[in-house]
Structure 1
Amino acid sequence: MSDLFAAAHLSDQAPHPLADRLRPRHLDEVAGQDHLLGRDGALTRLIRAGSLGSLIFWGPPGTGKTTVARLLAQETKLAFVQISAIFSGIAELKKVFEEARKRRAIGQGTLLFVDEIHRFNRTQQDSFLPVMEDGTITLIGATTENPSFELNAALLSRARVLTFRALDEAALEKLLVRAETVEGKPLPLTPEARETLLRMADGDGRAVLTLAEEIWRAAPPEPLDVAALTEIVQRRAPIYDKAQEGHYNLISALHKCVRGSDPDAALYYLARMLDAGEAPLFIARRIVRMAIEDIGMADPQALVVANAAKDAYDFLGSPEGELALANALIYVATAPKSNAAYRAYGAANRLAKEHGSLMPPKVILNAPTKLMKSEGYGSGYEYDHDSPEAFSGQDYWPEKLGRQNIYKPVERGFEREIKKRLEYWEKLRKERERS
């Protein structure tokens, strides 16, 4: 019955969202993906060569992944079949594959577009492999998540990953101009409000057209300023999945800003994460980690401050506790930096694994039994508090390993003082070895 309705074009008479009405009909109408569809773009070259191969489209929502897949089928004369991993299972896939085999038998290829392909499990992803290899289908999978994390290595090895970029403001503006042409009227916005609208879209072409529709639907008598625009469209939530790549990108940015001693940028990413709904205690744990890894003994107080901020958030909650996190973030970003302790611990781990269970020197072993005393356990040990300057200078390393130098403090912050102590003790050690 639905086929009869389609044949009669009854659906054309139904209302369609603006984004659907403005969907490009040719590849050169796609906005914001010139690196793929420009004269020397990756997809342009594949079309020119006459062979697409299987592809994975990776990029944020509203960047044209579905539209481009549909237009590629049109360009290459392949039958276009679209499914969503959210609503499909193995039974549905088997049916799609069988229909593709029938088309192939009569000389018709199939471009299978799988939206949200990352939502298929390993078994479902593996089911694509044989039909990709024998040419039954040309697969185009679309995902908003990093394929390296979400797709099987076997599937990735048989497909080329193409990255779709979030639309910049010029591309979004181009969409708005097209929308105004189709609607036959300008958007009732002040120049400042128009710029704000573009930022609200967050690089999503579908979003900017949906927001434009909301504005026209409101039919304001006068152009909207920024405040009125915000009131009407209610501000679109940032694109940020706390369990996926957006989460890792922002926490990585936050950590590197602290390591790079840029408190302003660090505060910006902190605000971004909190605004998007990130768990504040996750951020607090990361600030503690920054204090340990990137500051260490250059400012031992950094760990105290970071832990205090975590406790303050636990005690105050949101929003007051978020200021404690901001304070701690500023502290660690402006603290002197050293990864000497981090590197020393790594070196110690490598030594321990490479040299096995070496016996400590008997001089520092306890001798609770007569047998152990007779074997020399504890013999010759010097109690450091009884030595001049509370330093005996004895060698505590396993004999087969010898003395090692793995902690190398830097000339910054408190580690400058530690370095002076270590150099002084080394001087005393050498003097006592000579005497």
Structure 2
Amino acid sequence: MADLFSQETSIAPQAGPLADRLRPSNLAEVIGQEQVIGPEAPLGAMLAAGSLSSLILWGPPGVGKTTIARLLANETNLHFVQISAIFTGVPDLRKVFEAAKIRRQNGQGTLLFVDEIHRFNKAQQDGFLPHMEDGTILLVGATTENPSFELNAAVLSRAQVLVLERLSLADLERLAQRAEKELDRKLPLDGPAREALLEMADGDGRALLNLIEQVTAWKDDTVLKVDALSSRLMKRAAVYDKSGEEHYNLISALHKSVRGSDPDAALYWFARMLEGGEDPRYLARRITRMAVEDIGLADPQAQTVCLQAWETYERLGSPEGELAISQALVYLALAPKSNANYVAYKAARKAAKSTGSQPPPKHILNAPTSLMKDQGYGDGYAYDHDAEDGFSGQNYFPDGMKRGVYYLPVDRGFERDLKKRVEYFAKLRAKRQSSEN
């Protein structure tokens, strides 16, 4: 029994999670983020100059925000203090600031790392300002949300925002090799399965190390293929916040793919949003907007197709209804594009604001009372159906206002025909006006 016990303990994994054991000891060991920590990058330049400012590290989970902050404290001989905005209240912050003041009096600076800093409210964020300004703390905040939306302008004006990126597959492979060296064993995966494992991490180094720990904990050393790996591991959910930065990034990608006439890219971003849990009704509404804004009268049918797809979803529900929306999406991507009406609408709104309350010309006003008739309402109105070609060419803008030209149809789709009509009526209008003169 003693031999059995010693045999089991001899193969037990080393203490501590793999992510902690592989934490870099200096910035040179950090994988990825060369755009931030390289010799010519912002942090490299600051450290070389011996002048580190307060920072906001913005990036997705598992890309090294905490590690970089800790290493910066080591590089600058600052005392490292880490707090989370989720678990820290005002009394806790006071204690942190008081300790930093005492430390400063004793000749020791403090690097205060605030994880999820965007979760602090405005008043709490303002509380950092005096301590940043008098040098009590050097603030390094970490956030997964766009700082422009989530952080006070006062904090942003006193800190430099550095953008950290998802780890590439090459970065993740380097991390996997480092893990194999630490574990002193190769991952029991063939080539495609190894690549699938890296893709499961979705750019998150911490997630990859957690997956590697799961794989290496299996007692079976048989080399696994993709199917076997997938059956044992669940794919990590994609990062997607329906009310946050990623939401706006993906809907922007979807909209621009449709505008760029790329049905495959449009379907990809549509699927990404659905996989992230987006409400199909929101997507149905957005693609209807795309039909109005980017296709317009180049294909008047596009709007109807979107509304029908929306109605079909309401009748079928999920998951079948999403197919109708995707069908409308492909239709939009391949439809002729025109924003001529959208541009004309904005130009007309601008003109309406600038011309104030100018009334319509009297000849196009109705005169239901005798007083209005006496005032000249309706005098000289030309009934278009009685005119040659059914077109009078009269002025319908306010008297004294220069005629506006807002709608300029493109030479694509159905608007090609509308363009001919616009030009036809413009010629008739010029002909009528010249004959009146």
TM-score range (shorter-chain normalised) is over 0.9
Other-structure match for 2:300:
300
User: Which residue is 1:318 aligned to?
Assistant: 318
Does residue 34 (structure 1) correspond to residue 73 (structure 2)? The answer is no
Cα distance in 2 for partners of 1:330, 1:224 equals 38
Q: Which deviates more, 175-184 or 41-50?
A: 41-50
1:113 Cα deviation after fit: 0.2
CA distance in 2, matches of 1:249, 1:431: 51
Q: Does 1:239 align with 2:225?
A: no
One-letter amino acid of the structure 1 residue matched with residue 52 of structure 2: L
- Mapping of residues 340-355 of structure 1, within 5 Å: 340-355=340-355
Describe the superposition over 1:363-410 as per-residue Cα deviations: whole angstroms up to 9, x where unpaired: 111111111000100111122222233211111110121321111111
Amino acid at match of 1:40: E
Distance across 2 between alignment mates of 1:81 and 1:364: 75
Displacement after TM superposition at 1:59 (Å): 0.6
Q: Map 1:263-412; keep pairs closer than 5 Å.
A: 263-412=263-412
CA-to-partner distance for each residue in 1:285-340, whole Å, 9 max, x for gaps? 11011001101111111111111111111111111111111110011111111110
Supply the distance in 2 between the matched residues of 1:382 and 1:279 (Cα, whole angstroms): 52
Which residue of structure 2 aligns with residue 111 of structure 1? Answer: 111
CA distance in 2, matches of 1:326, 1:175: 38
Per the alignment, residue 262 of structure 1 pairs with 262
Matching of residues 108-147 of structure 1 within 5 Å: 108-147=108-147
Note the C-alpha offset of 1:14: 8.8
* Residues in 2 aligned to 1:25 and 1:182: alpha-carbon distance in whole angstroms: 14
1:417 aligns with 2:417: yes
What aligned pairs does 1:98-247 form with structure 2 within 5 A after superposition? 98-247=98-247
1:146/1:245 contact within 8 Å kept? yes
- Greater shift, 40-49 or 301-310, is seen at 40-49
RMSD value over aligned CA atoms? 1.2
| Matched letter for residue 125 of structure 1 | Q
- Gaps in structure 1 of 5+ consecutive residues: 1-12
Confirm or deny: 8 A CA contact 1:358 1:400 kept in the other structure. Answer: no
1:98-131 CA-to-partner distances (Å, cap 9, x unmatched) read 1111111111100000000000111111111110
Deviation, 1:47, is 1.1
Q: How far is 1:220 from its partner? A: 2.8
Q: Could you say what secondary structure the match of 1:382 adopts?
A: coil
TM-score (norm 2): 0.95
Residue 5 (structure 1) aligns with: none
Please tell me the residue identity of whatever aligns with 1:86: I
Matches of 1:220 and 1:244 in 2, distance apart? 42
What is the identity, as a one-letter code, of the residue corresponding to 2:259?
R
Structure 2 unmatched runs, 5+ = 1-12
1:218–1:232 Cα contact (<8 Å) kept: no
Structure 2 residue 54 is matched with structure 1 residue 54? yes
Map Cα deviations across residues 328-365 of structure 1 (whole Å, 9 max, x no partner).
00111111111100000110011011110001000111
- CA separation in 2, counterparts of 1:390 and 1:301? 27
- Displacement over 6 Å in runs of 4+: none
Q: Report the TM-score when normalising by structure 1.
A: 0.95
Count matched residues.
Answer: 423
Deviation at 1:276, TM superposition (A): 1.4
**Secondary structure of residue in 2 paired with 1:404:** coil
Structure 2: distance between partners of 1:111 and 1:402 = 64
Q: Could you tell me how far apart the structure 2 residues matched to 1:153 and 1:314 are? A: 43
Identify the range of structure 1 (41-50 vs 74-83) with the bigger mean alpha-carbon deviation.
Answer: 41-50
